[in-house]
Chains A and B, each alone.
Chain A
Amino acid sequence: GQQVMQIPQYQHVQEGEDFTTYCNSSTTLSNIQWYKQRPGGHPVFLIQLVKSGEVKKQKRLTFQFGEAKKNSSLHITATQTTDVGTYFCAGLNAGGTSYGKLTFGQGTILTVHP
Chain B
Amino acid sequence: EAQVTQNPRYLITVTGKKLTVTCSQNMNHEYMSWYRQDPGLGLRQIYYSMNVEVTDKGDVPEGYKVSRKEKRNFPLILESPSPNQTSLYFCASSSRRQGARATNEKLFFGSGTQLSVL
Contact = CB atoms under 8 A, between A and B. Distances in A.
Interface of A: 1, 6, 9, 30-31, 33, 35, 41-45, 48, 88, 90, 92, 99-100, 102-107
B106 A33 contact: yes
B101 A102 contact: no
A99 B44 contact: no
Contacts of A30: 101, 103
Contacts of A100: 101-104
Interface string B43-84: 111000000000000010000000000000000000000000
A1 B108 CA distance: 25
27 contacts: A1-B59, A6-B42, A30-B103, A31-B103, A33-B106, A35-B107, A41-B111, A42-B90, A42-B109, A42-B110, A43-B92, A44-B109, A45-B107, A48-B106, A88-B42, A88-B43, A90-B43, A92-B103, A92-B104, A99-B103, A100-B101, A103-B59, A104-B44, A105-B42, A106-B40, A106-B41, A107-B43
